[in-house]
Amino acid sequence: MTKMKWAVTAATLGALLLAGNAIAADKKVVAVSIPAADHGWTSGIVYHAQAAAKEINAAFPNVEVVVKTSPSAAAQVSALEDLSAGRKLDALVILPHTSEELTMPVKAVKEGGTFITVVDRGLNDPAIQDLYLAGDNIAVGKNTAKFLVDKLGGKGNLVVLRGIPTVIDDERIQGFKDGIAGSDLKILDIQYANWNSDDAFKLMQDYLAKYPQIDAVWANDDDMLLGVLEAIKQSSRTEIKYALGGNGMKEIIKKVIDGDAMTPVETPYPPSMIKTAIYMTVANLIGQAPIRGVVKLDAPLITKDNAAEYYFPDSPF
């Protein structure tokens, strides 16, 4: 066995030596343009983009993945100019700061012959993208709702926290409402808390003051869930059976792994999706694997059984 492994190593070395002279000319460049780490989820995006670059650059000597973070839409527009100046980008993987400001700059890059992979936030003109990859916000809400219907035996009082008025928030809430439809789960109240822990803490305190019997809380997002859990902890309330979030924050996944009673499940809208997009793009460049189209990742219920797959202890998120 050891002998075979060394034979493989030697063969790999041989291939590297033979390939040596061809590498520079044949090297395919994949630029990854993403927002800087301005909150938990985008810090996860930065972490996973850099991890993908490291893994792929080590694995494929003829691919160079270059990651560039930008603190604003204007900076991202400049970054695109810098990235494509003086060299042909074979592919661009981009999570745009805003659809409005990035649509035309990305179109210009595409017109230079670059394969365009758009992640999470779409451009205003979908014809520009070759691959679009995002999570499924409807499933985030629906799968959480189905868990609660099941665990609460189809009846009980809920309070729900919304994020910021956006398509993302609308879809999550729609999925949740669809998921409890037909049951006797009742939403006592539903208000916005801006995907912010402090705002969620205050809103949850209001809910606790107003409603004497709350069976479960759905926070729609893990940053808000942290505020909710703190408010519950500071109260003397014991009737609340579940407080759930969504997104895949590592602190919440850890609770699932540890078998936490109040937060035993999670639904992902994982920043690691940037990694999926980068790997798919590289598969197309390296092996001509067909990837054109629209990919909507599922948001399966994360339980103790599968949580390790979604847990990144070294990630900031």
Q: For its own copies, which is the closer residue by CB, 136 or 221?
A: 136
Interacting residue with its own copies among 74, 167, 181, 294 (CB under 8 A): 294
Interacting residue with its own copies among 86, 182, 212, 287 (CB under 8 A): 287
If one asks whether residue 122 binds its own copies (CB under 8 A), the answer comes out as: no
Interacting residue with its own copies among 1, 85, 209, 261 (CB under 8 A): 1
> Using CA atoms, how far apart are residues 55 and 65, in angstroms rounded to an integer?
10
If one asks whether residue 196 binds its own copies (CB under 8 A), the answer comes out as: no
Closest approach, Cβ 309 to its own copies, in A, equals: 6
Q: Which of 116, 112, 115 is nearest to 86 (CA)?
A: 112
Residue 173, token pair as written in the block: 């809430």
Q: Which residues pair with 91 in a beta bridge?
A: 30, 115
Closest approach, Cβ 222 to its own copies, in A, equals: 16
Interacting residue with its own copies among 75, 211, 295, 303 (CB under 8 A): 295
If one asks whether residue 123 binds its own copies (CB under 8 A), the answer comes out as: no
If one asks whether residue 264 binds its own copies (CB under 8 A), the answer comes out as: no
> Using CA atoms, how far apart are residues 196 and 164, in angstroms rounded to an integer?
9
Query: At residue 67, what is the residue type?
Result: V
> Using CA atoms, how far apart are residues 64 and 87, in angstroms rounded to an integer?
12
Instruction: Label each residue of 95-142 as H, E or C.
Output: CCCCHHHHHHHHHHHHHCCCEEEEECCCCCCHHHCCEEEECCHHHHHH
Cα three-residue angle 131-246-183, rounded to 5 degrees: 110
Interacting residue with its own copies among 6, 39, 78, 166 (CB under 8 A): 6
Span near its own copies by CB under 8 A; candidates 151-159, 198-206, 219-227, 266-274 = 266-274
Residue 23 CB partners (closer than 8 Å, separation 6+):
61, 62
Interacting residue with its own copies among 86, 182, 212, 290 (CB under 8 A): 290
If one asks whether residue 60 binds its own copies (CB under 8 A), the answer comes out as: yes
Q: Which of 315, 245, 226 is nearest to 274 (CA)?
A: 315
What is the three-class DSSP state of 134? strand
Torsion of CA 60, 63, 64, 65, to 10 degrees: -80
If one asks whether residue 15 binds its own copies (CB under 8 A), the answer comes out as: yes
Q: Using CB under 8 A, which residues numbered 33 to 52 contact its own copies? A: 51-52
Give the CA distances from residue 144 to residues 117, 140, 172, in Å, rounded to whole numbers and listed in that order. Answer: 29, 6, 10
What is the three-class DSSP state of 219? coil
Query: At residue 183, what is the residue type?
Result: S
Closest approach, Cβ 67 to its own copies, in A, equals: 14
Q: For its own copies, which is the closer residue by CB, 68 or 275?
A: 275
If one asks whether residue 25 binds its own copies (CB under 8 A), the answer comes out as: no
If one asks whether residue 209 binds its own copies (CB under 8 A), the answer comes out as: no
If one asks whether residue 297 binds its own copies (CB under 8 A), the answer comes out as: yes
List of residues contacting its own copies (CB under 8 A)? 1-2, 5-6, 8-9, 12-13, 15-17, 20, 23-24, 51-52, 55, 58-61, 136, 268, 270, 272-273, 275-276, 279-280, 282-284, 286-298, 300, 309-310, 312
